[in-house]
Structure 1
Amino acid sequence: MNKPFSPGEAAEDQTGRFLVQPNGRVRPLSPHLQVWRWHVTMLASILNRMTGGALYAGALVVAAWLLALAFGPETYAAFAAIAASPFGLAVWIGLSFSLFCHLAGGVRHLIWDAGAGLTPSAASALSWLSIGFGVLATVLFWAALFLTGRVAL
């Protein structure tokens, strides 16, 4: 059995694998992307975090939309012109992808929290399903908007 490092030994460690915490405990540094072999659950986790952050930005865009509505027709027309531009549509499409992907990631986590889907193959399948749902739901949502004429370029 390996004996734990003392703070002095960890401080002298030339590999950089250990860290002395403020409370004096010696902990190994967490392995990072350079150490782990890439797999879909990592992608789904990173994507879930990124889409969660994007939804914060999306909340600001929605708040700006409501403020433009509150400030009158001229302000709303200016906002609507930006929102309907190719750049604005790209932002809205990205936000809808973030919403659908984050929703699917949340459902994936609920399944895992229930104790199901925790084997490596099931976790990979759920990860692929959540990513696929995000992409497919976004494509279908925007296809419906374009095909019904609610959105146009």
Structure 2
Amino acid sequence: MASRTPARPRSPHLFSGFLKLHYSWGPHMLVSILHRATGSGMATVGTVLLVWWLAAIASGAEAYATFQDVFTTDAGNLNIVGWVVFVGITYAFFTHMLNGIRHLVMDAGAAFELKRNKMFSLIVIAGGFVLTAAFWLYLGMK
């Protein structure tokens, strides 16, 4: 007769029973995904913008004017595309930075308790919005 082995733990993406997850989503899982997404997003969008900007400068005044027209209005202010791109990059930067600080604290051996980890995760999410808003308000005052 074969002996019964105890049930092995399942991965978070697998179901047990009828649509019952083993793990519930929390803010600590969200910031982990956000950290990867913001890092990749900043690298990709930043590289594309830098290459486009350098190519526009090298190509002459008409190409540079086209580059500027995509992001600004006739008055020199940001248009909707400029706002979405640059505010998005700013939010990605601040969220990625705060999450990096969170990881530094965790690498030092602190904040592994679930309550504290969730609290720091919520601070990362909210802090990204607060720092982005403060940055753009500061730029708007100048």
TM-score w.r.t. the length of structure 1 is 0.72
Pair 1:41-2:28 in alignment: yes
- The 5-angstrom pairing of residues 68-87 of structure 1 reads 68-84=56-72, 85-87=79-81
Match of 2:18 in 1: none
* CA distance, structure 1, for counterparts of residue 136 and residue 43 of structure 2: 21
* CA distance, structure 1, for counterparts of residue 127 and residue 85 of structure 2: 19
Of residues 84, 88, 96, the one that matches 1:94 is 88
* CA distance, structure 1, for counterparts of residue 138 and residue 5 of structure 2: 62
Which letter maps to 1:46? I
How many residues are aligned here?
127
Of residues 42, 62, 82, the one that matches 1:55 is 42
* CA distance, structure 1, for counterparts of residue 12 and residue 68 of structure 2: 46
Pair 1:107-2:101 in alignment: yes
Partner-residue secondary structure (3-state), 2:132: helix
Structure 1 moving runs of 4+ over 3 Å: 1-5
Cα drift, residue 38 of structure 1:
2.0
When the two chains are superposed, the root-mean-square deviation of aligned CA atoms in Å is 2.5
Cα drift, residue 63 of structure 1:
2.4
Cα drift, residue 42 of structure 1:
1.2
Which letter maps to 1:62? L
Which letter maps to 1:36? Y
Is contact 2:38–2:93 with CA below 8 Å preserved after alignment?
Answer: yes
How high is the sequence identity, in percent, across the aligned residues?
A: 35
Q: Unpaired segments of 5 or more residues in structure 2?
A: 15-20, 73-78
Shift in alpha-carbon separation, 1:4–1:74, aligned structure 2, 3 A: same
Shift in alpha-carbon separation, 1:66–1:2, aligned structure 2, 3 A: farther
Which letter maps to 2:38? T
* CA distance, structure 1, for counterparts of residue 107 and residue 49 of structure 2: 32
* CA distance, structure 2, for counterparts of residue 2 and residue 129 of structure 1: 46
Shift in alpha-carbon separation, 1:128–1:2, aligned structure 2, 3 A: farther
Match of 1:32 in 2: 13
Q: Which has the higher contact order (CA 8 A, sep 6+)?
A: 2
Cα drift, residue 113 of structure 1:
0.8
